[in-house]
Chains A and B, each alone.
Chain A
């Protein structure tokens, strides 16, 4: 699986949503989006869910959110978590 990494921690609204949506639109089944952010991006997750993507979210001890999204429903995103 190829990782598309997006560090959105210092991005101003709505850049994280704008960039991650464009990644989702062009993403293949062999890719997944790995985003880190200071907030849980609920709007992005709702859109991803509505469009048939799977996602996994995790907040680490530094309160940073790790968001993994993929089109491939056969993979276990939790295993790709990098903390």
Chain B
């Protein structure tokens, strides 16, 4: 889709492959908002493991769904990786993933049925590995790697580790394996999920899209060439240290510094872009990078001095804000483009232009909702008032509802154009 440096658009999958995952992500976001509203109204008292449920709805339901959709779309065009039968694969992965996640959430809430943990690990494990195996296999085969394709190997490699560690944790919770390594595995599970899979994927993709989307100066070579490798190696070293019982503060501090440097350089690059005006997607990137710096700064401080619980939670919140900001930036860039491109390439004369599919003003509104949501969530960390909790939950609901509405609108526009307009003869 994006690469204009030697790779192909023709290998891009049908638009349904991408939208299937994006719509799913938005639906899970809406469900998360509803859950938070119910929680703030004290209607979830009987549910166990609420924090774990919220974390997994966000990490898997929202983030993994978005990223699976983006991977199906971007791997062929950014890295030249051909995924055979993408529609069939996407349907199978989607089905196994959604069923697995729902079972997992129910298992967390119920906790009494061992079989649910086993089923969740089977569905999620098979579904995700079925998607990742061909992607990784083809990525590794590439002879002439770009910074993005190399980084994606580390990101997807991290994701595979996260999945295996997650399977182990689920089987342990179900009583199928003993739990002597629970604490170590849990720490590695979220370290690789946050710093490895999620962050490395964003970093890798940014090396390609920041320069191309926003006509910015290039990233310095030392960064684009080595950053993802350094982060991955640090994560592996951290894993060894955790299992050997060593302190990992120094490694975490290095990781935080690397991410802060990356985010600072990205903001700097965006500042020197050639266009004077900025659309919402640029603001999402700026906000995301700013939040990453804040999150990593708190993480860094935490390795030196003890910080209180609220500040630690602020670090997690800003990290979620970072990841969601980039997801929104990419979605509002990808969806209008793909809708227009597929229709235009199919020869529909009256293919709607990108701003007719999702108007830039709608993306700007998403940005304001997003900022309001993060602000109220941050305030509610420090002032535990009913009204703040309710308002933040409503804003989560509105934010994902707004996105879902525009994704459905884009799909409708796509099908309407196919049905009701004439094809262009070249």
Contacts and interface: CB of A to CB of B under 8 A. Distances in A.
Contacts of B9: 42-43, 46-47
Nearest to A10: B274
B4 interface: yes
Interface in A9-25: 10-14, 17-18, 21, 24-25
A24 B347 CA distance: 12
A74 B5 CA distance: 28
A3 interface: no
A40 B4 contact: yes
Nearest to A48: B426
B213 A40 contact: no
A25 B424 contact: yes
B147 to A, nearest CB: 15
B4 to A, nearest CB: 4
Given A18-B340, A21-B344, A51-B426, A12 B275 contact: yes
Interface in B334-361: 337, 340-341, 344-345, 353-354
Interface string A30-51: 0000000111111110110011
A14 B337 contact: yes
A42 B4 contact: yes
B426 A18 contact: no
A11 B24 CA distance: 33
A42 B8 contact: yes
B237 to A, nearest CB: 37
Max count, chain B CB within 10 A of own CB: residue among A12, A37, A50, A51:
A12
Interface size class, chain B:
20 to 34
Contacts of A18: 340, 353-354
Nearest to B338: A14
B92 interface: no
Contact of B6 (A24, A42, A47): A42
Nearest to A41: B4
A66 B279 CA distance: 28
Interface string B54-88: 00000000000000000000000000000000000
Contacts of B6: 40, 42
Contacts of B213: 12-13
A42 B275 contact: no
Contacts of B274: 10
Given A12-B213, A42-B5, A52 B10 contact: no
Interface residues of A, number: 23
B332 to A, nearest CB: 13
B369 interface: no
A52 B426 CA distance: 8
Nearest to B11: A46
B234 interface: no
Contact of B7 (A12, A21, A42, A51): A42
A43 B10 CA distance: 8
A46 B214 contact: no
A51 B353 CA distance: 21
Nearest to A11: B215
Given A40-B5, A42-B5, A47-B9, A10 B345 contact: no
Given A18-B354, A41-B4, A46 B10 contact: yes
Nearest to A22: B344
Contacts of B10: 46, 50
Contacts of B380: none
B345 to A, nearest CB: 6
B381 to A, nearest CB: 37
B3 interface: yes
Contacts of B4: 13, 37, 39-44
Nearest to B353: A18
B212 interface: yes
Given A18-B354, A43-B4, A13 B212 contact: yes
B426 A13 contact: no
B35 interface: no
A10 B215 contact: yes
19 contacts: A10-B215, A12-B213, A12-B214, A12-B275, A14-B341, A18-B354, A21-B344, A24-B426, A25-B424, A25-B426, A39-B4, A39-B212, A40-B5, A42-B3, A43-B8, A43-B9, A46-B10, A50-B10, A51-B426
Interface of B: 1-10, 212-215, 274-275, 337, 340-341, 344-345, 353-354, 424, 426
Of all A-B residue pairs in the complex, the 6 with the closest CB atoms, nearest first, are A43-B9, A39-B4, A51-B426, A10-B274, A41-B4, A13-B213
